[in-house]
Amino acid sequence: MKNLRAESIEKIGKAISSRIRRGSLLGLGSGTTMATLLPIIADELTVRKVRPRWVPTSLQISLVAQGLGQETTAMDRPMLDLVVDGADQIDADLNLIKGGGGALFREKVLIGSSKSTIIVADEKKLADRLCSGGVRIPVEAHPFARVPVAERLRMIGGEPRIRIGERGFPFYTENGNLIFDTGFEPVERPSVLEGEIKSIAGVVESGIFTPRPLEVYVIEEDGGYRVLKKN
Q: Which of 44, 107, 194, 205 is catalytic?
A: 107
Q: For residues 202 and 144, is the Cβ–Cβ distance under 8 A?
A: yes
Q: Is 107 a catalytic residue?
A: yes
**Catalytically annotated residues:** 107
